[in-house]
Each structure stands twice: as C-alpha cells, then as structure tokens.
Amino acid sequence: MELKWLEDFVTLADTSSFSRAAEIRNVTQPAFSRRIKQLEVWLGTPLINRGMLPAELTLAGRNFLPVAQNTIRALHAAREALQPYTEAGMVRFAALHTLTVTFVPPWLQLLEQKAPDTRLSLIPDRGGIEANLAALVDGEADFFLTYAHPRVPFHLDREQFGFLEVGRDRLVPVAAPKVRLQGGKWTHGEGLLDRAVAEGLMLPYLSYGFSSFFGVALGRLFVERPNFRRRPVHENAISAGLKTIALTGAGMCWLPESLILDELRSGTLVRVSAREDWTMELDIRLYRHHGNQSRIVKTFWQTAESVVAAPPTSQPDAAPA
C-alpha cells in the first residue's frame, strides 16, 4: 500500500475522469490507471466501474472513499507532527544527481551568505522523470532542483507549482581522444560525430535509457536527426556513470558541461562535433508547491529569489554560457 494510491483514488472520485485525475496528479494516464489497479488488487475488490462514463465508484469504492480520505489526513498530520524531529530544520530537496555534484555546492555557498542557517536534506535521484517529480508532488520534498529544456515539458499545474530559474548548463556530445569501434578498430574521438554523420558510420553510443530527463531530451533530438546512426553499448541514467565509461574509449555520449570542465581542459574528453546544434542549452530550475507555506520553506524560497536577483557575477552558473 502506498499513500499516493489513496490520493489518486480520492482525486479520481472527485473528478470522475481518469484523464483529468491523471493531469491533476501530474502522471501519465497509463501510469495513473496502473496505480488505481494496484490499489484494487491490494484491497481485493474493484473500486471503479470502468464500464461507465463518467467513471463511477462501485459500492466498495463508495464505502472505501471516507476511509481513504481519513487515512490521508491522518498520515499528513502525523508527518507534520514528526517533521521537527526528523528533519531538524532542514529543507528537503529532490535533485538530479549531476546537480548535487556540480551546481549545489557553489549555490549553497551563495545561499548561506544570505541566510547563514540554510541547511539541505537531499533525496537521492530516482532516475525517471515521473519518479523525481513525484517526490515534490507527493510532499516528500519541499523543492525539486532539475534541468529544464523545451524538449522535456513538465506537466505541472502552474497554479500549484512555481519555479525559479537559478542557473544554466549545456549538454554536449563528447568522447575520449580514441574511441573503440565495432570490431576492435580505434578512431579519433575529436569530430567523430561529424565524420560519422557525413559518412553514414555506426557509432558506439553510451545511453541514458528512455525515462531519465536526458534520455527523454536526447530521444527527441534523435527523432529530428535520423542520420545519427548509433549502437547502444552501455546504459546508465546517471551522468557521472556515463562519464566514467566514456573515459575508457567505449563510446560517445552527451554529458553536462559542468561535469566535464576538467576533462575538456586536460583533453581526456574531446568534443565530437564542431556544430553547436548538437549541443543542448539547459536551464536549471527550482520547483516548489505553493501549498507548502511552512516558515522554513518560505524563507528558503525568498533567499533563493534574492540570489537570483543578485548581480550575474555572484551567481553560480553550472557551466559557462
């Protein structure tokens, strides 16, 4: 049993629409339907009459609705009562792994200059977009720090969720100076992507998979670039993991520039294209739920706003523009 299943069910009861309820809960409709089904399996009885439009609760669903509502209220009340002991005054953050390594440390220094008592409790990156957003939507985190790009829209209700743009980064295609091709042949990494596209070569590709932020963004880029022929040889949703593999010459990949500044300077990683249209310009956004009006959350948001408003020279871009 998961709390979000109960919240999904109550939302569905309120809207009588799977599509509208999924939109409010900020998940895809198939994912929402699966969660309702999981709740029904756990309870051992159907809660929704799916043969009716709009959706109707079964008798069991009508009987269970007040139980679900009371359980949600009780659990939220218990969490609020326990937070002073469990969180010890820390702001709870969900954040993409790369940002915790590259962006958060210098940004936290700027925040502490404005508010010396600033303290963060970081929730580990969950890999997929929906899983990371769920930490914010379900109230497990006060804030969500993420990359943003037009190719990966976040379906969040603007009336409930706001964001600040707190930094910039770039996703760049790179490889080791020597890259191992299929059959064991080695080739120069610099300019490799441009040569491969011109000559129709198949490249060894280090992939983010399909559900992570970068995986979705790159998947949509590749749809626009069918002439990029690739053979996935390794997959990891975490950029630092792909960087480690790229350094061995196993293949090319896209990495946040903030993560590889030292490697680019030393030449242990090189750019595989001279064309800027293979590079993605990224915003770094801080999201919050407007319904969370606790003092510590409001204070942190105001501090973050003051850092954004500071002169550009004092703001910690994750990578040079």
Domain of residue 273: give its range. Answer: 170-281
51, part of any domain:
yes
Instruction: With CA atoms as reference, report the closest residue to 92 among 269, 321, 292.
Output: 292
Instruction: For residue 320, name the pLDDT band (cuts at 50, 70, 90).
Output: very low
Q: Tell me: the pLDDT tens digits for 195-223?
A: 999 999 999 999 998 878 899 999 999 99
Token pair 């963060």 is at which residue?
120
**Same-domain check for residues 117 and 192:** no
Q: Which of 85, 118, 133 is the last residue of a domain?
A: 85
**Same-domain check for residues 94 and 21:** no
CATH number at residue 73: 1.10.10.10
Is the distance from CB of 182 to CB of 202 less than 8 angstroms? yes
226, part of any domain:
yes
Q: Which of 52, 85, 118 is the last residue of a domain?
A: 85
Residue 155 has pLDDT above 90, yes or no: no
- CA distances (Å), origin 188, targets 193, 256, 268, 302: 10, 21, 12, 49
Strands 161-175 and 270-271: antiparallel
Report the pLDDT value the prediction gives residue 28, as an integer from 0 to 100: 86
320, part of any domain:
no
Taken in order 47, 51, 56, 59, is the CA torsion positive or negative?
negative
Report the pLDDT value the prediction gives residue 88, as an integer from 0 to 100: 53
266, part of any domain:
yes
CA distance 174 to 73: 50
187, part of any domain:
yes
**Same-domain check for residues 270 and 193:** yes
Give percent above pLDDT 90 in the chain. Answer: 49
Residue 308 has pLDDT above 70, yes or no: yes
The three-class DSSP label of residue 199 is helix
Go through 205-232 and write b for each residue having 16 or more CB atoms within 10 A of its CB, e for each that does not. bbbbbeebbbbbbbbebeeeeeebebee
126, part of any domain:
yes
**Same-domain check for residues 230 and 292:** no
The enclosing H or E element of 317 equals none
247, part of any domain:
yes
How many CA within 13 A on the CB side of residue 115? 21
Is the distance from CB of 5 to CB of 36 less than 8 angstroms? yes
**Same-domain check for residues 162 and 189:** no
Q: Which of 43, 68, 85 is the last residue of a domain?
A: 85
Token pair 């249209």 is at which residue?
277
Go through 84-99 and write b for each residue having 16 or more CB atoms within 10 A of its CB, e for each that does not. eeeeeeebbbbbbbbb
Instruction: For residue 105, name the pLDDT band (cuts at 50, 70, 90).
Output: very high
**Does a cis peptide bond (omega within 30 degrees of 0) precede residue 204?**
no
**Same-domain check for residues 78 and 25:** yes
Is the distance from CB of 38 to CB of 5 less than 8 angstroms? yes
Token pair 């998979």 is at which residue?
209
Q: Tell me: the pLDDT tens digits for 25-56?
A: 878 888 889 999 999 999 999 999 887 778 88
Q: What is the mean pLDDT of residues 221-239?
A: 93
CA distance 238 to 305: 29
Residue 159 phi, psi dihedral angles, 5° rounding:
-75, -25
233, part of any domain:
yes
Lowest mean pLDDT among 15-24, 247-256, 268-277: 15-24
Q: Tell me: the pLDDT tens digits for 107-134?
A: 999 999 988 888 888 887 776 777 777 8
**Same-domain check for residues 289 and 162:** yes
Total domains in the chain come to 3
Residue 84 has pLDDT above 70, yes or no: no
Q: Tell me: the pLDDT tens digits for 273-296?
A: 999 999 999 999 999 988 777 888
**Same-domain check for residues 239 and 297:** no
**Same-domain check for residues 121 and 204:** no
**Same-domain check for residues 256 and 205:** yes
**Same-domain check for residues 20 and 75:** yes
Is the distance from CB of 205 to CB of 231 less than 8 angstroms? yes
The enclosing H or E element of 271 equals strand 270-271
**Same-domain check for residues 182 and 237:** yes
